[in-house]
Amino acid sequence: MIIKNGTIEVITNSGGGIDEVTGLNTETSVAYDKPIDCQFKANRFSFKGKSNGSDFTVAQYEIYIDCCDAFTGEKLRIKDAKEVIVGEFQIISIEPLNAVGQIRIYV
């Protein structure tokens, strides 16, 4: 059982590539799967990132979901309990926790 403090949505990209007639790139469309209740916490969070004079935020999250099925995805979006978007992140690892019937996701 998780203590819900947000949701995740798996991001899927479709389309894209090169148009065979014109040789130009075609647009990629982004779709979000239905929200999945989750519990997330920041493992590392810092506003001190800097690259080429620009500031950025460094963040790593640990996410738990109640799920019996296999979870797949490459990228996801986290929203907090107030539906505010925390960010879009690349999935680092997916680990099933069979003893408690949950899945742990690192982004």
pLDDT tens per residue across span 71-82? 888 999 999 999
Nearest one of 69, 46, 68 to 56, comparing CA atoms: 46
Tens of pLDDT along 37-62?
999 998 876 666 666 777 666 678 99
Residues 6 or more apart in contact with residue 27 via CB below 8 angstroms: 15, 16
Tens of pLDDT along 20-41?
888 888 888 889 999 999 999 9
Q: Which pLDDT belongs to residue 105?
A: 93
pTM of the model: 0.80
Share of the chain above pLDDT 70, in %: 89
Helix (H) or strand (E) holding 76: strand 75-80
